[in-house]
Amino acid sequence: MPKPFYITTPIYYVNDVPHIGHAYTTIAADVLARWHRLIGEEVFFLTGLDEHGQKVQQAAAQAGISPQAHCDRLTPQFLNLWKKLGISNDGFIRTTDAPHRAVVQRCLQALYDAQLIYHADYTGWYCTFDERFWTEKDVERGLCPDCQRPVEQLSESNYFFRMGRYQQRLIEHVQANPSFIRPESRRNEVLGFLQKPLEDLSISRPKSRLAWGIELPFDANYVTYVWFDALINYISGLEYLPAQPAENRVWPATVHLVGKDILTTHAVYWSTMLMALEMPLPHAIFAHGWWTVDGEKMSKSRGNVIDPYTVVDQFGADAFRYFLLREIPFGQDGNFSYESFIGRVNGDLANGLGNLLSRTVTLIQRCCRGTVPPSHASEVTQLETELQSAAELLIHKTMPDHLRADRLAFNRTLEAIWGLVQLGNQYIDRTAPWVLAKDPADSKRLQTVLFHAAETLRFLCVATYPFMPETAREVARQLGLPHDVSQMLLASPIAWGDGGAEAVVAKGKALFPRIDASTFLRQGDSMKTDQSAAPSPSTSGAASTATPRTEGTSSPPSQQEDGLITIHDFQKVHLTVAKVLTAERIPKSAKLLKLQVDLGTEHRQIVAGIGKKYSPDDMVGKTVVVVANLKPATLMGVASQGMILAAGDQEVQGLIAVENGDVQPGTKVK
């Protein structure tokens, strides 16, 4: 019997309310869970909360309540958001659950008995915010290398896990299993990290300093380090959350989804812990990027933290789900702007899928008395054959390829789905059923056209369901399909024409009403959380704290009276070598391309007016020069985070490229 598809999110740290980073990871996991159920696999989808540690203890003390009461007060905010977002998790774990505590203590005792945990004195630099020690070589200018907050020197007696013993074994595992850490850039980061000596890990905190945690089973004076406690959830949850014990049947995990800021804890800490416990490692750990807002880091002080509750209440969960997974490749950093969000809703959702459904149902009601007509073999042309082939290719080849656990190309999947949406709209335009309806002699051709339009939507029900479940259900309802779309299993091929004819359609409200951008953007600040309620940007889960520079209208260099600039003026412009990773056209623009580029230390989204000279395929893989320190700008509703240099005045004649192909992204141009 095959093992279930086991997918996890990080367990999110209960130090504040949920934000866009938490939503992003959890939505991605939900899409995978729904897809694998759809193709007939057994799935276990686990998420939850990390409720121990110093930050929780401090927050509770400030609120004048117990740590447990603090956790109990914040937990519903996550549970309610998951319900609003349509999250279909099978288990929700809290590290304060008694069964979880028992598993953590059992693991600690096993490692202690195997002499893999020892007691020693230690002096090091401690970051309270990250709740971890750093060595002298890690700390620069007295700041934590992760969060850049001040560290303090502490001398303590603690218990240590012999993590260093497993360094070479872990290196060999990463090298032998290319899909173990994804994407490739993150795998390289981990291998780079493992080139330095791997020190043993402090896995305890004295109760005199921190009382809120799981007590060590072999020393009541200490509690467990919060990360050691939290990581165990991936196996403890399998012991008591499924209807029947599932650990041996389900483990190892198919894929852990994490934010890139906690990759090391998962790829190194968790992997070595599992090796020490003599348990198999997960098949894949996939680290995604961070979200900024209008090109800026999210923070309370800026007042720009996106409140998922507010976005969902105003626009619906499916629009939010679609935007987050369509806007950027999973694994890269992304930028949330209302201009981009509105552009996706109006362009892709309202004008695309919504328009296709409305046109099809209206025509069936008007021309066929509200019943999906049959297709007539004598009327099937190359247009229908191409439409059928595209739909079947999408469901049976493209989606399975893109949604593999080692690839997770969510945006490419949605791009392919919307390719079928576009093809469906073009099909209606080219066949013009409203013209066919005028001549009774064309009745069979009219019926064939409307049948194929309805079949296109039936296939789109299945394709969109993992991403936008409520939308898929509404499309199915308006088409009059007699079954729940979630039960349209793909374990065997879904056949064109096996379920659409004779269904009674029922036109409903618009799937995605168009947003009046000018009115909404004047009210845009209402979509951000109040600063007093906004979440801290760094959590044990998916953080949203990147700070890339972005494109916009910049102030010109200061000029002398003769029009010349100084070398200091020129040095204000940061020119950087970049490699183009992906490229696509921006709808309704012949000139603009949206590019994802690698700047060495980060990935950026750039909108470039080069579409008349270069196609998207021309751009992928090119090494270009980017102005990396421009202010934010939005073009055609799409955020841009830099500018590519090109030659030409009114029209682009050529790109400023790098002659030597060996020059690495991130190299400065001077």
Looking at the domain 338-487, which fold is it?
A: Isoleucyl-tRNA Synthetase; Domain 1 (1.10.730)
Give bridge partners of residue 182 from the DSSP assignment.
286
Looking at residue 523, its pLDDT comes to: 52
pLDDT, mean of residues 291-316: 81
Q: Which residues are bridge partners to 633 per DSSP? A: 640
The better pLDDT of the pair 529, 105 is held by 105
91, pLDDT greater than 80: yes
| Residue of 191, 184, 158 lying closest to 268 (CA atoms) | 191
Q: Report cis status (omega within 30 of 0) of the bond before 252.
A: yes
Q: Is the pLDDT of residue 462 over 80?
A: yes
Asked whether residue 559 carries a pLDDT value surpassing 60, the answer given is no
pLDDT of residue 245: 62
- Fold match, 338-487 / 551-669: no
Say what the pLDDT of residue 548 is: 26
Name the residue with higher pLDDT: 559 or 271: 271
User: Per-residue DSSP letters for 16-41?
Assistant: S---HHHHHHHHHHHHHHHHHHHTT-
8 Å CB contact between 223 and 205? yes
Alpha-helical segments (H) within 465-566: 469-479, 517-522
> What pLDDT digit, counting tens, does each position of 473-515 carry?
999 999 998 777 776 566 566 788 876 668 899 999 899 999 8
CB atoms within 10 A of CB 379: 17
Give ∠ CA 338-474-505 in degrees, rounded to 5: 135
Residue 499, pLDDT score: 66
Q: Which CATH superfamily is domain 551-669 in?
A: Nucleic acid-binding proteins (2.40.50.140)
Q: Which residues contact 39 (CB under 8 A, 6 or more apart)?
A: 400, 489, 490, 491
State the average pLDDT for the chain: 86
Residue 536: per-residue pLDDT = 32
According to the model, what pLDDT value does residue 533 have?
36
Measured at the CA of 261, the angle between CA 260 and CA 262, to 5 degrees, comes to 90
What confidence category does residue 383 fall into, taking pLDDT thresholds of 50, 70 and 90? very high
Q: Which residue has the higher pLDDT, 117 or 336?
A: 117
Lowest model confidence (mean pLDDT) among 304-308, 367-371, 574-578, 661-665: 661-665
Amino acid at 555: S
What single-letter amino acid sits at 652? V
Q: Where are the beta strands (DSSP E) in 189-284?
A: 201-202, 204-206, 215-216, 219-224, 255-259
Distance CA 426, CA 432 (A): 10
What was the pLDDT predicted at 301?
A: 64
Q: Locate the domains of the chain by residue range.
A: 338-487, 551-669
Q: What is the pLDDT of residue 537?
A: 30
Give the pLDDT confidence of 601-644 residue by residue, as tens digits.
667 889 998 988 888 888 888 889 999 888 777 777 787 888 99
Counting residues of the chain whose pLDDT is more than 90, the rounded percentage is 59
Mean pLDDT, residues 62-84: 94
